[in-house]
């Protein structure tokens, strides 16, 4: 069921599945998608689902599953994103939903995919009493996206060059705005980006490909949403984060919560699941301009010492190890041969990761 909920001052589209009495699960989607991007997994999760012989599994028990569309995605209101708050606009929207879509006081297990992992971490930092457990799927680093050089998240430059809205491929942004559904080899078309970057195997979407493409095309394009407004800076490669929109909200200038996460007094259990072939979040991802400079794709790169690629995966591992050393619990699940979307590519193992949390709450 899809319904519209008015919370935190905006209209939010929310998809709900399962029994009101089931184990509460909140699913937060990533960038350039919507709550419906979870649907292939949820169909196999709930009792009565028609599991396929290759990707199916027997549901172990009942769940109450809720997947909101974040502002500017899916059917939710295209409210502006204040990037200077990091991902807190999104987290505040989700927090305002909790007592509407669940029984008051419910503490769901929160799963976040990609950027949604950052939103889930922000929600946990701001409302630790409302989160029973965290399932981080191919998550954004706790130090943001791009522009940091080491496990401590040290900024590469004082102006956070190479992060934010200016890093977006203009051809992809234009195709997204045009709602291009082209089937073909253009590497910047939304369908091709989804098939080559969201998963390791282009056939992983199967019969759901067109429906999943519609979640990508639901992205609102503009300075207030995706990708945001860019600014010119003095450091290579000459662009830095503005103050509005999604990609700026993920810049380490505004989003960095590692220390706050580690310092939580009450630490929910965390499972971090990611694929070895993730093309978007990685220690050498082509979405990092420093990596493109290192490869010679972008001219003028100042070198490894001045501008190394961000060690995204290593940063997340280091922060979660600190989290465990400070009294929390986490488990890392690395799926060999899997890309950016384990819940679509490897739903059985993604379910195992979810159950690892339910067994601890």
CATH no. for residue 68?
A: 3.40.50.1820
Q: What does the pLDDT read at residue 50?
A: 41
Question: According to the model, what pLDDT value does residue 49 have?
Answer: 44
With CA atoms as reference, report the closest residue to 39 among 29, 48, 52: 29
Question: What pLDDT is stored for residue 90 in this prediction?
Answer: 98
Separation of alpha carbons 190 and 284, rounded Å: 22
Examine residue 306 and state whether it is found in any structural domain, yes or no: yes
Residue 312 lies in a domain: yes
> Is the pLDDT reported for residue 303 higher than 50?
yes
Q: Note the pLDDT tens digit of each residue in 152-211.
A: 999 999 999 999 999 999 999 999 999 999 987 789 999 999 999 999 999 999 999 999
Of the two residues 59 and 278, the one the predictor is more confident about is: 278
The answer as to whether 118 is a domain residue is yes
pLDDT of 61: 61
pLDDT tens string 201-250: 999 999 999 999 999 999 999 999 999 999 999 999 999 999 999 999 99
Contact between 332 and 276 under an 8 Å Cβ cutoff? The reply is no
Q: What is the enclosing helix (H) or strand (E) of 110?
A: strand 109-113
| Mean pLDDT of the 257-272 span | 97
Q: Give the mean pLDDT of 304-311.
A: 97
Query: What's the pLDDT at 184?
Result: 79
Q: Which of helix, strand or coil describes residue 40?
A: helix
**Number of domains the chain is built from:** 1
Q: Per the domain annotation, does 244 fall within a domain? A: no
Residue 133 lies in a domain: yes
d(CA 178, CA 219): 11
Residue 51 has pLDDT above 80, yes or no: no
Q: What is the pLDDT of residue 47?
A: 60
Q: How confident is the model at residue 48 (pLDDT cuts 50, 70, 90)?
A: low
Alpha helices in the chain (DSSP H): 39-45, 88-101, 115-126, 170-177, 190-197, 209-217, 246-249, 258-262, 289-294, 312-325, 342-345, 347-358
In a domain, 65, yes or no: yes
- Do the beta carbons of residue 249 and residue 83 sit within 8 Å? yes
Residue 222 maps to a domain: no
What range does the domain containing 340 cover?
A: 2-146+254-358
Q: Is 343 domain-assigned?
A: yes
Residue 58 has pLDDT above 50, yes or no: no
**72 — pLDDT class (breaks 50, 70, 90):** very high
């Amino acid at each position: 069921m899809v319904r519209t909920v008015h919370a935190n001052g905006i209209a939010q589209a929310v998809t709900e599945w399962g029994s009101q009495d089931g184990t509460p699960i909140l699913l937060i989607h990533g960038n350039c998608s919507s709550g419906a991007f979870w649907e292939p997994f949820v169909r196999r999760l709930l009792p009565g689902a028609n599991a396929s012989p290759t990707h199916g599994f027997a549901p172990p028990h009942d769940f109450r599953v809720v997947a909101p569309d974040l502002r500017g995605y899916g059917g939710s209101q295209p409210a502006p994103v204040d990037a200077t708050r990091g991902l807190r606009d999104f987290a505040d929207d989700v927090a305002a939903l909790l007592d509407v879509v669940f029984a008051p006081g419910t503490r769901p297990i929160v799963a976040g995919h990609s950027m949604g992992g950052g939103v889930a971490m922000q929600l946990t930092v701001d409302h630790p009493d409302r989160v029973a457990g965290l399932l981080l799927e191919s998550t954004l680093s706790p130090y943001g996206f791009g522009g940091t050089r080491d496990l401590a998240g040290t900024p590469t430059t004082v102006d956070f060059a190479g992060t934010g809205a200016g890093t977006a491929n203009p051809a992809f942004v234009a195709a997204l705005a045009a709602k291009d559904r082209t089937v073909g080899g253009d590497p910047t078309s939304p369908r091709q980006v989804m098939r080559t970057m969201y998963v390791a195997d282009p056939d992983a979407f199967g019969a759901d490909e067109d429906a999943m493409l519609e979640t990508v095309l639901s992205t609102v394009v503009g300075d207030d949403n995706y990708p945001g407004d860019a600014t010119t800076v003095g450091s290579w490669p000459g662009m830095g984060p503005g103050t509005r929109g999604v990609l700026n909200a993920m810049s380490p200038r505004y989003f960095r919560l590692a220390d706050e996460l580690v310092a939580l007094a009450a630490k929910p259990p965390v499972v971090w699941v990611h694929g070895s072939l993730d093309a978007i979040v990685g220690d050498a991802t082509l979405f990092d301009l420093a990596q493109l400079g290192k490869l010679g794709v972008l001219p003028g790169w100042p070198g490894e010492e001045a501008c190394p690629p961000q060690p995204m995966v290593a940063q997340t591992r280091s922060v979660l190890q600190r989290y465990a050393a400070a009294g929390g619990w986490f488990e890392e699940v690395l799926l060999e041969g899997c890309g950016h979307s384990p819940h679509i590519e490897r739903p059985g193992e993604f379910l195992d990761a979810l159950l690892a949390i339910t067994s601890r709450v």
